[in-house]
Structure 1
């Protein structure tokens, strides 16, 4: 268990440092497309490197969703989620040290924070943010469950999952700055405090609900396919 928990912490650290780091340090250079690609690449590389150890979740919504799909033991859920949050917070702290090394850095405006209303990049409200996070997390889990459940596609799962996460970011960065990952949201919010911390509840509730929905949908399709 220790090795698997450490793998989840390290993988989540890499996701936050790579994805949020690109947004914070290079966002003005690479744009939304570059940030979206960065999140996808962190999952792709992290899953290839560490997936054989822990499954490469790096996301509480994925862990809970895979539990709902019958792909993860209930005993793994809490240790994995705790490790993921710790990894995300450490990554956010490292990112803050780097980002604050330049004049004019404003943590409340340039720290890849998730939010709605005043916290949304384009001012989207609570309902839009809620629907976006639930639906996109659900679809993410459908993709994950589908690719890991097939022996033919499983070896290439990190590629499909990374591309799915890239697409999710392309869709929803303007809405919420894209969470679909409570650990990622928590890491930067705990460092930044303020509005992002007040709105953090949404980025736990919506992705977890979406993860369970997606996990159950994925389970339905994979179990039906096995019967045919």
Structure 2
């Protein structure tokens, strides 16, 4: 009963934070879906203009996604919630003690809800083009082959740990704190270009679930839960231990107050 009361109190005080988180992942999945059609579908004039090179087309998708993340991170709404938009990021911040358990649960619920709504919305709005093999409903999938799942899992672990490290390092740096949103956006754009052929570049269980459920294709969805969640939680814990040992002189970053 006590924890239920905490959940209710958190909802009363911080529901705007949760709405921002749901809207953020909705925007991410919407923009990435539209960008996939615009830059990859053979009937797209822009895709034809860029030529058949897949990596050039991925640059377009990466720029669209990266710029969106930067815009959301620096927007008043993103600053309100902390701009997680990802259950794995929320898990990492919860491990560090920067967000309470009740708020973390509401964040995750909002993120998954927003992703599912966006996934179904894009499925119906983009249906004439979404099924093309180059797009496949914007789902995240391993490469084909007997060991494709292992390669995808390893890639997800690596890029998820890398993203969390960039985020924590920049937020705890007096020099680069103000550039944290830009650095994360650049990192995501880079991953879209160089890593997406391996796993689809998820980093985000909610993003993968929203697209997979709408497409009715989730046989290897566990990869995109295990990889990001394990990697970001582990990176956050290792970073916490590192900071405790070295005790840096700069003040810790100010996170949005979501405690109750």
Under TM normalisation by the shorter chain, which class is it?
0.7 to 0.9
Instruction: Establish whether residue 42 from structure 1 lines up as the match of residue 55 from structure 2.
Output: no
1:173 aligns with 2:196: yes
C-alpha displacement of 1:222: 4.1
Corresponding residue number in structure 1 for 2:226:
205
Say which one has the larger Rg.
2
* Counterpart pick for 2:162 among 139, 148, 151: 139
Contact 1:145 1:219 in 2 (8 A): no
C-alpha spacing 1:115/1:124, structure 2 compared with 1 (3 Å): farther
* Equivalent position to 1:33, from 20, 36, 59: 59
Residue 116 (structure 1) aligns with? 142
Find the partner of 1:79 among 82, 91, 106: 106
| Secondary structure, counterpart of 1:12 in structure 2 | helix
User: Per the alignment, do residues 3 and 14 of structure 1 end up closer, same or farther by CA in structure 2, a change over 3 Å counting?
Assistant: same
Distance 1:7 1:77 in 2: 14
Distance 1:169 1:124 in 2: 21
Task: Give TM-score scaled by structure 1 length.
Answer: 0.87
Label 1:189 to 1:160 Cα distance change in 2 as closer, same or farther (>3 A). same
Q: CA deviation at 1:225?
A: 4.9
**1:54-69 alignment to 2 at 5 Å?**
54-69=81-96
Match of residue 6 from structure 2 = none
CA contact 2:143–2:197 (8 Å) conserved in 1? no
The structure 2 residue matched to 1:106, chosen from 121, 131, 134, is 131
Secondary structure class of the residue paired with 2:138 = coil
In structure 2, relative to structure 1, the CA distance for the partners of 1:214 and 1:170 (3 Å cut) is farther
Task: Confirm whether residue 160 of structure 1 aligns to residue 183 of structure 2.
Answer: yes
Q: Deviation of residue 73 (structure 1)? A: 2.5
Distance, in Å, in 2 between the alignment partners of 1:185 and 1:225 is: 37
Give the aligned partner of residue 226 of structure 1: 248
> Bigger shift: 214-223 or 27-36?
214-223
1:182 offset after TM fit, Å?
A: 0.5
SS of equivalent residue, structure 1 residue 130: helix
Partner of 1:35: helix, strand, or coil?
helix
1:14 is aligned to 2:14:
no
TM-score by length of 2: 0.77
C-alpha contact (below 8 Å) 1:124/1:175 kept by paired residues: no
Structure 1 unaligned residues grouped into runs of 5+: none
Larger mean Cα displacement after TM superposition, 182-191 or 25-34: 25-34
Total equivalences in the alignment: 221
Cα distance per residue 1:21-58 (max 9 Å; x no partner): 21134334261111122221221111112221100000
CA RMSD of aligned residues (A): 2.2
- Runs of 5+ consecutive residues of structure 2 not aligned to the other structure: 1-13, 42-46, 51-56, 251-260
